[in-house]
Structure 1
Amino acid sequence: MTDEIRLTEATSLRAYAHPLRLRLIGLLRAEGPMTATQAAARLGDTVPNCSFHLRQLAKYGLAERAPGVDARERPWRATAQYTSWDHDSDDPAVRAAADQLSATIVTEYARRAQEYLTTRGDEPAEWRRAAGPGDVLAHVTAEELGELMAQIDALMSRYDDRLTDPSRRPAGSRPVQIIRMAVPRD
């Protein structure tokens, strides 16, 4: 698996802008190679639907076949740990597709947050204190915002080795999705 795959065409951006495809890639990145049957069970979807969407992800270079235990097993894996794209393309079709993908991702983040809030009361106190929503308002220039986002990414990269090497995860650690989003206000 490479570190990053960069989507540059409107067709690949629109292909990725599907809630199940986002969840499938997230699942493969978090848990490693699995079959469409395993993915369907984990995501509460059908095997044919997951199989179709995995093939679509492969068509755009986001997923690929992985070696199986035997000739009958046909697992899939993500091709990269991260997916990136430009939000400021000169091509209006690419910009529109990037906006569509971003909207799908924000909707997925909101779904995950709501899902967490329904079970938050069952979490141990230390996790309830450490996790949850928050925001900060800052008055910055576009250049400063870019620098700030790069600093946040650099801070988070300290934990990248734990994504692919479970032996690097300390006892008591859990997967936590840190959602970073900068939204300029009027």
Structure 2
Amino acid sequence: MASPQRKTIRLDDPRALRAYAHPLRLSLIGMLRRNGPMTATQCAAVLDENVPNCSFHLRQLEKYGLAERAPAADGRERPWQATAASTSWTDDSDDPEARVAADQLNAAILRQYIRRAQAYLAVRGEETAEWRAAAGFSDDMIYVTAEQLAGLTERIEALLAPYRDRTARAEGSRPVTVVQLAIPTPEDGAP
């Protein structure tokens, strides 16, 4: 198998998209990708969940190729690992069921980002002035074609790529979530 650090798994099946859209499954995969192999017990402790629930959802992730058992140092531990560094899916399917499933997954991910941003705001005052100045929210209104937006997205991805390598971390670095929302907006500014 290709190294999970570089591999992307693609989900096209609506069932797999809906399965991945579960909030706990998204959290589990995110945690395995950030931290490396973990047992269901370790996952449960970090996520404040119960072990049987984490075990069940890890098995569901395995069913869709998103997680797998990792080699264990001792026979008692049963760690899990992510099978890929990222997951992709299509938002432009001609299949209505696939479009609905992709929208459900996108909505679940958006809810996670909102929760993460709210959690950051709750502790933002405890950050150093340097981190408070560097992190935060912004938005901008741009006028582009679909082709230009796709090109801009590619350039943003290329700009972020060097910072994804965990082995090349600068001293003092810490994990930062960068969220990109490219949402067509009505001309009149209506929500």
TM over 0.5: yes
2: distance between equivalents of 1:134 and 1:47? 38
Instruction: Give, as a single letter, the amino acid of the residue that structure 1 aligns with 2:81.
Output: R
1:129-168 to structure 2, matched below 5 A, reads 129-162=133-166, 165=167, 168=168
4+ runs deviating over 2 angstroms: none
1: distance between equivalents of 2:67 and 2:94? 28
The alpha carbon displacement at 1:169 in A equals: 1.3
Indicate the percent of aligned positions where both proteins have the same amino acid. Answer: 61
1: distance between equivalents of 2:137 and 2:56? 34
Partner residue in 2 for 1:56? 60
1:27-79 deviations in Å (ceiling 9; x for gaps)? 00001000000001011111111110000000000000000111110000000
Partner residue in 2 for 1:3? 7
The CA RMSD measured in Å over matched residues stands at 0.7
The alpha carbon displacement at 1:159 in A equals: 1.5
Partner residue in 2 for 1:185? 185
1: distance between equivalents of 2:94 and 2:163? 34
Partner residue in 1 for 2:95? 91
* Structure 1 residues without counterparts, runs of 5 or longer: none
* Structure 2 residues without counterparts, runs of 5 or longer: 187-191
1: distance between equivalents of 2:174 and 2:71? 27
2: distance between equivalents of 1:44 and 1:182? 33
Aligned residues: 182
Partner residue in 2 for 1:172? 172
1:118-155 deviations in Å (ceiling 9; x for gaps)? 00000011000000111111000000000001111111
1: distance between equivalents of 2:74 and 2:113? 36
